[in-house]
Amino acid sequence: GESVGLHLPTLSVQEGDNSIINCAYSNSASDYFIWYKQESGKGPQFIIDIRSNMDKRQGQRVTVLLNKTVKHLSLQIAATQPGDSAVYFCAVVAGGTSYGKLTFGQGTILTVHP
């Protein structure tokens, strides 16, 4: 079955630095990828998504990179702020599924120091 993992369980950065959070997935048939942010006591919040026909997508201060060759996904956060401190999850949807079953990784804890 699908498994999604993260290389680093924790990431600590200084305010203003750029952050990079990584994610590996196992199913080469995965074709939709999403990053969520989860703050303590809240549900996951959608950040950005990317489809398998793209290798890069940019949002406001965030960029997602997809490398299908090595089955790797990353989230880059520019000029990280204390409000970015949270747990970040990648999630994937396997190709061929007719419904939105998200398979989540374990999460990376991002801590931003002022």
Which residues of the shown chain bind other proteins in the complex (CB under 8 A)?
Answer: 4, 32, 34, 36, 41-46, 49, 51, 89, 91, 93, 97-107
Least distance in Å: CB of 4 to other proteins?
8
Which C-beta is closer to other proteins: that of 17 or that of 85? 85
Specify the residue for token string 């990584």: 22
Which C-beta is closer to other proteins: that of 17 or that of 109? 109
Which C-beta is closer to other proteins: that of 92 or that of 112? 92
Tell me the torsion sign for CA atoms 26, 39, 45, 110.
Answer: negative
Least distance in Å: CB of 114 to other proteins?
26
**CA separation (Å) from 7 to 56, 81, 107?**
20, 22, 10
Least distance in Å: CB of 46 to other proteins?
6
Closest CA to 23 of 45, 40, 53, 2: 2
Closest CA to 21 of 72, 67, 94: 72
